[in-house]
Amino acid sequence: MNAQAIALSHVRPIPAAAPRAGALSGVDASHDFELALDDRAPAAIVRKSKVPKAEIADMTAQLAIMTQSGLDLSSALNSLAAQCERPALAEVLRDVNELVHGGNTLSESLKTYPDVFDGAYVATVAAAEASGRMAEVLKQLAAMQRSELRLRQSIKALLTYPILLTAIAGTVISILVVFVLPRFADIFAQYEVDLPMVTQILLAIATEAKVRWWLWAPAVGAAVAGAVAWRMTENGRRIIDRWMLKAPTVGGVARPLFTGRLCTLLGLLLNSGVPLLDGLRLCRQAASNCVFKDLIGELADSVLNGRGMGAALLNAEAVPTSAREMIITGERTGKLAEVAQLLGVHYEEEAENRMKQVVRVLEPLITVVMGAVVAVVVLAVMLPIFDLSSVGH
């Protein structure tokens, strides 16, 4: 999830349920909260600090355990800061603890570090403070973060072998074409052997690469840099994001992946007490795919106008049909939070399983393609050798 600065305006008194046992002292659990979203936090309190998401997840889980055991918030933050092995996170926790000591709530203190605690994280903590369910909500928040990290690590692990295989095979083929084949060409030239077409083509490529490397190397670098720069533009992001959802193989992974992330986050926010409209706005800020970002904006507008999410979801092709129907049913029956969390788990697992299927097909395909290319290079060398041996006889 992208780190977004968010401002939580104020706590408006609204009658709410009584606080549960284990709620943090100093948190007013007798009032619900109204979330005011802002794209920027006040410049005076925004601080920059980079901390890996895995450490944030571990810290959240430990804070949940400490608060559930009855430890007060300040002591828990102080203990976590002392245990931190990474100085950046320890400094963040010490600063947050100082702000809490100064009279700020935990959510107000966390929002001063938007690069560490994104908008959804801060809003979830604010909801936990308002409802008096801090330990329970922190557990759910840590579980969601770990699930997202586990999915990312699984995808990276699945893609590591195909990428390494492609890189190694490409390097070997390049060495054969650029350095090995020209040596044989000198031998063939001495005996005036007629070279096959495939050998002539590969020799032309090798000669061009060696003689005019000063032209092709910058050209390739400029092409890569241009592609990256285009991907970062608004038009480039939209084209790539649409392609990811519609491509036959990639779309089969991307659609359940983005759907699962949206449902998981929305379910957590709703279950924590965040209103639906504010939850959708937070999900929109966290969405990385432009198509889903636009869709969530349409859902928020539909909810704001009193139509509910059903009207906007009916034609949302980016979301699987079964997910659309279940979300509409959950909204109609008042069980949207539970349905969204179940859908999040289901579609994240489906995305991981589909990724495994794609990799199982991709690995032998890469092997066959690279083997065919190596075979062409070997033939380019061996065919003239056969002609040379026939000339010798």
Q: pTM of the entire structure? A: 0.74
Q: Same domain for 332 and 191?
A: yes
Pair 273, 333 in one domain: yes
Domain assignment present for 270? yes
Domain end, chosen from 79, 105, 132, is at 132
Are 329 and 363 part of one and the same domain? yes
Range of the structural domain that residue 212 is part of: 146-393
- Which of these three, 132, 157, 182, is where a domain ends? 132
Percent pLDDT > 70 in the chain is 86
Write down the pLDDT at residue 10: 33
Q: Interior CA angle at 180 toward 178 and 185, to 5°?
A: 95
Residue 278: other Cβ atoms inside 10 A: 20
Same domain, 326 and 202: yes
Tell me the pLDDT tens digit for each residue of 306-337: 888 888 888 888 899 999 999 999 999 989 99
Give the CATH number of the domain where residue 2 resides.
1.20.81.30
What pLDDT score was predicted for residue 294? Answer: 93
- Given this model, what pLDDT does residue 46 score? 53
78-127: pLDDT as tens digits: 889 888 888 888 899 999 989 988 888 888 889 888 888 888 888 888 88
| Shared domain check, 121 and 196 | no
350 and 204 both lie in a single domain: yes
Q: Is residue 201 part of a domain?
A: yes
Mind giving me the DSSP string for 209-224? HHHSHHHHHHHHHHHH
* Average per-residue pLDDT for the chain: 81
Q: Same structural domain for residues 244 and 121?
A: no
Instruction: Give the per-residue pLDDT at 329.
Output: 92
Rounded average pLDDT over 188-210: 82
For residue 219, being part of any structural domain is answered with yes
Query: Is position 139 within any domain?
Result: no
Amino acid letter, 360: R
| Residue 165, in any domain of the structure | yes
Q: How many domains does the chain have?
A: 2
- CA 94 to CA 73: how far, in whole Å? 12
Quote the pLDDT of residue 238: 92
Amino acid letter, residue 51: V
Q: Do 223 and 298 have their domain in common?
A: yes
* Cα gap 136→349, rounded to integer Å: 24
- Please report the sign of the dihedral spanned by the C-alpha atoms of residue 122, residue 127, residue 132, residue 135: negative
My answer on whether 11 and 105 are in the same domain is yes
User: Do both 197 and 304 map to the same domain?
Assistant: yes
Domain membership of residue 295 (yes or no) is yes
Residue 137 in any domain: the answer is no
